[in-house]
Amino acid sequence: MICEYKHCRHKDNTQIKEFDGHWYHEDCYQERQDLMYILYTWRKRINKEVNPGDLYKHMYALFEKHPSNYIVFCLEYAIDNHKNLNYPAGLKFYVDKTEFKEAYKAAQNRKAQKEVKKYKIVAKEPQEEVKQTFIPQEDKGFSAILGH
């Protein structure tokens, strides 16, 4: 089996899993899903008439330098903060800004803190001691076992 992602950077195909009837590495599948999300978001919230080939070309260049989830965060951050973003080539300027990098780190820290709170360890109160109710009968010895 071979990874079906066109831009797979893995040299071996040992850790391939099946996703939606196709074979991918986990990170290749995540990158593909992020790319589809970027195209959908771009068309819905920025420009309906963006050329997908142009968008893919610029996103693949960004994926070479940064993780795909960071690119998705930068796109959403630029949209939410009303940054001037009209063309796919402009996203690379926002990706390298320290404002975006600091916001990404802060978002990762918030996410990690939520995970810690989710699995918070709580000490239980000490339970009362259970009193022994079994009272051993008198010892009859080895002869009682043999039936003498």
Digit-coded pLDDT (tens) for 7-57 = 888 888 888 888 888 988 999 999 999 999 999 999 999 988 889 999 999
Percent of the chain with pLDDT over 90: 51
pLDDT range class, residue 63, cuts 50, 70, 90: very high
- Asked if residue 62 lies in contact with residue 91, where contact means CB atoms within 8 angstroms, the answer is yes
Looking at residue 106, its amino acid is A
Six token digits for residue 49: 């008439």
* Sequence-ordered list of residues with C-beta below 8 angstroms from that of 95, at least 6 positions apart, any chain: 62, 65, 66, 70, 71, 74
Other Cβ atoms closer than 10 A to 19 = 16
Percent of the chain with pLDDT over 70: 83
Whether 142 shows a pLDDT value over 90: the answer reads no
Six token digits for residue 96: 């390298």
Q: How high is the pLDDT of residue 123?
A: 64
Whether 144 shows a pLDDT value over 90: the answer reads no
Say how far apart CA 141 and CA 148 lie, in whole Å: 10
Say how far apart CA 19 and CA 3 lie, in whole Å: 11
Say how far apart CA 139 and CA 100 lie, in whole Å: 79
> What's the whole-model pTM score?
0.73
Whether 135 shows a pLDDT value over 70: the answer reads no
